[in-house]
Amino acid sequence: MVYKVNVNTGKRCAMIDITAEVQKIVTESGVEDGICMVYIPHTTAAVTINENADPDVVRDMLYELDKIVPYSDGYKHFEGNSAAHIKSSMFGFSENVIIDSGRLLLGRWQGIYLCEFDGARSRTVYLKIIDSGR
């Protein structure tokens, strides 16, 4: 089954922790063992797994990304959001997380983040939960 999560982003660039929402859907699905695929159907947003214990990690990541791929750098794309396209391709549009005993199998400090690079916008996250049939 495919599930849909809507996320409103508040800034041009942000990393929004969606772990709790993803876990809620996994729990409601009743799947005990399997895979949760997280997919972002946008060309200027992405998904990643990273530390969710210290908010400075997110701040530092966004800060460094802006140095690597500045918002304005002589890009030719007429919409003016080439940096967002580049950043989202660097991160990627999907992540797979193992489901074990009904829980996302994430490391102690890990969280799942929707990465916004062209906001503020309303974004969609699709989840595909696959039961291993154990």
pLDDT tens for each residue of 87-112 = 999 999 999 999 999 999 999 999 99
Q: What is the CATH number of domain 2-131?
A: 2.60.120.460
- CA pair distance 96, 72, nearest whole angstrom: 32
Residue 133 has pLDDT above 90, yes or no: no
The rounded distance, in Å, linking the Cα atoms of 118 and 85 is 8
Whether the CB-CB separation of 52 and 124 falls below 8 Å is answered with no
Q: Give per-residue pLDDT as tens, 38-89.
A: 999 999 999 999 999 999 999 999 999 999 999 989 999 999 899 999 999 9
Q: Which of 112, 125, 129 is nearest to 36 (CA)?
A: 129
What is the predicted pLDDT for the residue at 82? 97
134 pLDDT tier (thresholds 50, 70, 90): low
Name the residue among 93, 113, 96 with its Cα closest to residue 36. Answer: 96
